[in-house]
Amino acid sequence: MRFGEALRKPGLAAIAEVKRRSPSAGELRPDADAGELARAFERVGAAAVSILVDGRFGGSTDDLRAARATTELPLLAKGFFSTPAHLEEMRDAGADAVLLLLRDLDDQNVMELMQTARAFGLDALVEAHDSEELQRAVSLGADPIGINARDLSTFHIDRRAQLELVAAAPEENVVVAESGIVSRAQGAAAELAGADAILVGSTLMRAADPAEKLVELVSRPLVKVCGLTREEDVAVAAEAGADLAGFILADESPRRAEDVLPVPETMLSVAVHVGEYEDRGADLVQLYERENGHRGRDAVLLRGDEPVARVLDLPWEEQDPGHLDRAREAEGRIMLAGRLGPDNVRAAIDAVRPWAVDAASRLEVEPGIKDHDKVRAYVEAAR
């Protein structure tokens, strides 16, 4: 399977990177065995493997050959390529795709190298890190396009700028969010912005078990703890491993928060509104319609003004025996809600296979005050 094709599958694909060292972070995994890691990444479901072949990263073309000997996954050769001879060398060493950095190449160079790559049967991942480079990539007909959160001159990571660039890329392009992803929530943020895949290197190389870490970063469902009103409850939810922190801002709710509280980088914040909403600085908005003075049954999850998921909930203060059946039949990203707790969330996940699960009232001592043991038990059961 070709590199670009492997990234077009439904859901968020993962490109696992073999990188022994980083100019910004120093030594990461000096003894990394590219062949063993590629085999492990294939076993846990990576869509492709990226191999650093540049000596500044502790890599070489021998690593590409070692990976090729152990995996059938598409291999991306990452280096600073500027001539057809470089691409020919990568092809001969087993690459399926090569990285082309717009920072280092003018448009004529890029066009020539893209044509050479096609002639060699290689895909070209053309990398941009600002809006000007993204426009260049689109104008040149690049596909797939990589959006790097790290400025390669300063090594500074700007995830917010990266997400806006991902969102600005044409929908028909395969888009890869690169660099700086250390948590499942950050991968989900890239997914919701429109990324088809994430490329993760340093985070995997620092992990005790890189393959296990890859599974953690792309596993679903995401876990949301909602109805948070206190910083200490946010901290417990984060420590337990929740991905989404929900803050209900509707006036009529007994769990109403005064505002969206700060969350760590391992979480995304979700502002929950009924009827209408204003920007309160949250990463996402969960918006219910208002019906008969209460929230409606279902909600839409918004990134900015863009719907990115559906929230399927129970009717207001009612049970619905067909709730899970309805959710199971729904298409697209589904966040499952409705009186979930430690005792029933796993059964609900097994029945529906949702993109995310959402719990609030059954994790409380009283409205808006979380029972920390129940929060921990809920997250553990959902995992």
C-alpha span between 28 and 206 (Å, rounded) = 6
User: Has 374 been annotated as catalytic?
Assistant: no
Compute the half-sphere exposure of residue 266: CA atoms within 13 Å on the CB side of its CA.
13
User: Has 148 been annotated as catalytic?
Assistant: yes
C-alpha span between 76 and 3 (Å, rounded) = 8
Residue 292, phi-psi category: left (phi > 0), alpha (psi -120 to 50), beta (remainder) = left
User: Has 88 been annotated as catalytic?
Assistant: no
Residue 335: name the closest of 248, 228, 257, 220 by CA. Answer: 220
C-alpha span between 134 and 323 (Å, rounded) = 43
Q: 273 with 259: CB under 8 angstroms?
A: no
Q: Which of 50, 60, 179, 269 is catalytic?
A: 179
Q: 32 with 206: CB under 8 angstroms?
A: no
User: Has 306 been annotated as catalytic?
Assistant: no
Taking CA atoms, 60 is separated from 19, 78, 93, 200, 246, in Å, by 10, 10, 10, 19, 46
C-alpha span between 118 and 92 (Å, rounded) = 14
Q: Are strands 21-22 and 97-101 parallel, antiparallel or unpaired?
A: unpaired
DSSP output for 99-124:
EEEGGG--HHHHHHHHHHHHHTT-EE
- The one-letter code for the residue type at 170 is P
User: Has 78 been annotated as catalytic?
Assistant: yes
Q: Which of 22, 50, 60, 148 is catalytic?
A: 148
Taking CA atoms, 98 is separated from 22, 48, 146, 308, in Å, by 19, 12, 11, 31
What are the beta bridge partners of residue 177?
147, 198
Q: Which of 78, 213, 224, 370 is catalytic?
A: 78
Q: Which of 42, 133, 178, 364 is catalytic?
A: 178
Q: Which of 127, 133, 191, 364 is catalytic?
A: 127
Look up tokens 């979480």; give the residue: 267
Q: Are strands 222-225 and 268-274 parallel, antiparallel or unpaired?
A: unpaired
Catalytic residues: 17, 19, 78, 127, 148, 178-179
